[in-house]
Chains A and B, each alone.
Chain A
């Protein structure tokens, strides 16, 4: 099997379907041999998933509707005028940009430093960085954010420490409910992913150039800055951009950290216009969503250009020799110290705080007096209450279902697209379109659409499943594509020559060969779906609550201690799942990220 090369870090499927044809695929016929019904079926499924929400979003944004019936009473630009005419929109836009840029830089700095230490130096114990990253990917962002609010809050341990250092004033030394606080927390949230992606880039870079530099008398610092970092520059910029885009779309931190401090961003503005307005202002929310869609689309356009221009570096990343590690000498212990510090800050502190909260009858900052009151009652509730069991079941069913459908659809679509079946380009194009749709926009679009359409799925898991599958199609495409690209066409051709039908070829030849990529993709989609909050919060109802929505509700309802217990239980389950799948993937030689 030649399929052990990890998915490329530069994510070319973020380029909205614009792809250079590889010479090999041009050689084959125009795909007349592929069954038309399959292409048509996939095209219909994808179109039905992707197009109606977008179209309906545009319709709602440009009309006034009667709230009770949903009937359109007027066509108007009024919604856009309200959004664009408000000075608050500009402030939110500015906040979103500052927030996204800041958190991107923090995630890159933290992740990059770790990746460099882990993949390029001989620091001892450096594998702990992987453990930290994998576990933190299993924890819902909303739970992390809550833990960070408690840690960095006015009465939290960090401010207490700062107060003893800088002396106590009236105000807390560090105010987490600010743009700075938001940037810090969001940066922390994204640093594990940026580490994993950069690590794979560093790992695959050609180490002989570094060796040459060192042998020619360059110092370690010169080697790092002139060779290692420069070689990885495309990957670094791409990750910076990716975190930037994701932070523009982020909801958890803006809602839990930004709103109390009066810092509004695009996502919270949309959320509030539905949740804080009675009746929900779908027109305004939709117009705002369209604006946000345009912002993200523009960003993705530049991201695509960035990824493409990275191509000129690729001639030196192809050969991956056994990288020789840089000997840090005595400094290697400092490097390990940095990794441990990162583990403490990113994982140990927030999780300990959650455990503390889960054991307290009510939440107060840590003290010996409070420690005498500890109780297990919240864990008892978290483990026995029917609703929590239901939430966990809902989340698992939904995430597994979404991951299965996404990978199933995209494996076929990617195969048809790569092998240039007629219509394959359309499949690729439509399946990558949802990338421009932020989660909150997808939530608004699907909610307003299916409330109106006489399809009885509102209030069931189906509406969530539809939203999740649509949103994660691009991710599935990314994994499927990289799997298919690695398969030589000859294998399929010999099967065809021996008389196999195209579908049989896919089933017997292609599917087994790309299975490792699909499995990695399946688990990636499963993990992000299990954490998803933005769409779920708009689309779930009483019987279809998922874990992240429950955690958010518990926070709002003032049940922090029970929240912490339930969050700890869920994180333990997901960490074990994530760690074992990561281990299995590693053994099979697949990179999950």
Chain B
């Protein structure tokens, strides 16, 4: 797919710029290095050919589509799937804003979906949760809804900006209640268990910290890192400590932890694990425990610490209101939450939300091992995020 100067929703604009751009590009290339001109022209021809091949379905009458979707939603099973597929085939490629790590899960999932429904295309844009939200809100403000399907650990900002399309999520009908929203705004595609992880070469087995108190050992001063992203980062950690230890004890603990010079990395928790593997830090806090298993499987010197109580949270996903590919968005969400899609989560060593799909590594799920844990729902998080960020300002900046 050529994405260059195209507005996603209006292919007509391309015809305005193409001849002009082709000229500019060819002239430019010729001007700098004469013998590159041929290549430039070839590239442009290809772009033009591609533009010509794009069907002229300028903005396919939105109301008709919405009408169709309402009808389709009345259907069930294969009939419904076929109708969605037919409608989705005429749409633009699906754009998925996700927090799932691309090479581990997002890409395999998209590829499996494309294989299952030939002719459909999924484009992935991966960011941290705050990045997904920032992009969606900014785009909405600019009057351009880019994403079709989203996943983010916070849903409140999206609700406030009226960016969520309520949906019935038929394939998630038997998911447990705490993994979905009664109003149909979101369903969790998977569950996260947060814990510290450590470099097994840098930290001898007898020195591995087992309790939150152990993290205060001067030995770890300057040797720990966490992400600045919300749930999977310092905010989540601070919130979890305050929730499980209580206000007073928690604050006293965090004040001491603040003396430990924890490196706050402006990256995903996955990158924190990578930095721990590379030996940059001994311990990564508030990382996803399945990430350590994925890396350890290919030989990386890393493991997670079942530090009780563990923090458990879910990964909400849903459909964007005003999505330009509403049928594909529904089809993809259904697929992601179906048995088949959830198997891919399992295969990737993620923790599936589907009650009938277990985790590949059962030790990762506290429910199955009897480890003590505390669930942090997205609503609870949203409610307290601001206070926790103040605590971070106080102790960790």
Contacts and interface: CB of A to CB of B under 8 A. Distances in A.
B65 interface: no
A60 to B, nearest CB: 13
B165 to A, nearest CB: 18
Interface string B266-286: 111111111001111100000
Given A556-B266, A556-B267, A559-B101, A155 B146 contact: no
Interface in A229-263: 255, 259-262
Contacts of B21: 397, 401
B228 A276 contact: yes
Interface in B66-91: none
B125 interface: yes
Given A397-B21, A558-B268, A361 B134 contact: no
Contacts of A523: 32-33
A451 B141 contact: yes
Contacts of B102: 557, 559
Contact of B7 (A362, A459, A580): A459
B141 A390 contact: no
B64 interface: no
B119 interface: no
A124 B134 CA distance: 55
Contacts of B31: 404, 407, 515, 518-519, 522
A36 to B, nearest CB: 25
A272 B281 CA distance: 23
A577 B36 CA distance: 9
B40 interface: yes
A70 B138 CA distance: 11
A553 B125 CA distance: 10
B8 interface: yes
Interface in A453-491: 454, 456, 458-462
A401 B266 contact: no
Among B101, B127, B147, B266, chain A packs the most CB atoms within 10 A around the CB of B266
Given A364-B278, A542-B125, A556-B128, A562 B103 contact: yes
B33 A362 contact: no
B265 A543 contact: no
Nearest to B298: A361
Contacts of A70: 141
B373 to A, nearest CB: 24
B300 interface: yes
Contacts of B161: 68
A150 B278 contact: yes
Contacts of A403: 28, 32
A8 interface: no
A259 B3 contact: no
Nearest to B162: A68
B143 A454 contact: yes
A363 B3 contact: no
Contacts of B266: 255, 259-260, 272, 276, 556
A155 to B, nearest CB: 3
Given A262-B264, A522-B28, A462 B130 contact: no
Given A260-B225, A393-B4, A555 B267 contact: yes
A280 B130 CA distance: 10
Interface residues of A, number: 75
A373 B299 CA distance: 9
A67 interface: yes
A394 B300 CA distance: 35
Contacts of B28: 400-401, 403-404, 522, 526
B126 interface: yes
A275 B268 contact: no
B95 A542 contact: yes
Contact of B295 (A279, A362, A394, A451): A362
Among A171, A518, A559, chain B packs the most CB atoms within 10 A around the CB of A559
Contact of B134 (A275, A400, A460): A275
Nearest to A280: B134
B135 interface: yes
Nearest to A264: B397
A69 B6 CA distance: 25
B133 A278 contact: yes
Interface string A265-281: 00000001011101110
Contact of A275 (B10, B131, B142, B273): B131
Interface in B162-210: none
Contacts of B36: 577
A495 to B, nearest CB: 22
Nearest to A370: B299
B278 A522 contact: no
A515 B266 CA distance: 45
A103 B264 CA distance: 24
B6 A543 contact: yes
Given A522-B31, A542-B123, A404 B25 contact: yes
Nearest to B107: A385
Nearest to A375: B298
A381 interface: yes
A276 B228 CA distance: 8
Interface in A399-416: 400-401, 403-405, 407
Contact of B278 (A363, A393, A526, A562): A363
A282 to B, nearest CB: 10
B309 to A, nearest CB: 26
B59 to A, nearest CB: 12
Contacts of A153: 278, 280
Nearest to B201: A364
Interface in A510-524: 515, 518-519, 522-523
A195 to B, nearest CB: 22
Given A515-B31, A557-B101, A559-B101, A542 B263 contact: no
Contact of A458 (B101, B144, B225, B281): B144
A275 B365 CA distance: 33
Interface string A562-591: 100000000000000100110010000000
B146 A542 contact: yes
Contacts of B11: none
Contacts of A580: 33
B38 interface: no
A67 B280 CA distance: 39
Contacts of B6: 460, 543
B271 A541 contact: no
A239 to B, nearest CB: 25
B15 to A, nearest CB: 14
Given A401-B28, A558-B274, A154 B279 contact: yes
Contacts of B225: 260
Contacts of B142: 450-451, 458-459
Given A397-B25, A459-B142, A362 B277 contact: yes
B44 to A, nearest CB: 9
Given A278-B134, A393-B2, A259 B265 contact: yes
Contacts of A279: 134, 137, 157
B24 interface: yes
B279 A557 contact: no
Interface in A526-574: 526, 541-544, 553, 555-560, 562
A577 B277 CA distance: 36
A260 B264 contact: yes
Contacts of A558: 101, 267-274
Contacts of B270: 557-559
Nearest to B121: A386
A379 interface: no
B392 to A, nearest CB: 11
B24 A405 contact: yes
Q: A-B pairs with the 5 shortest C-beta distances?
A: A155-B279, A558-B270, A543-B3, A558-B271, A404-B28
16 contacts: A259-B264, A274-B134, A279-B134, A362-B298, A363-B278, A365-B279, A387-B123, A390-B1, A390-B3, A397-B25, A400-B25, A526-B28, A541-B139, A556-B128, A557-B271, A577-B33
Given A260-B265, A557-B267, 5 more contacts: A456-B7, A523-B33, A526-B32, A558-B271, A581-B32
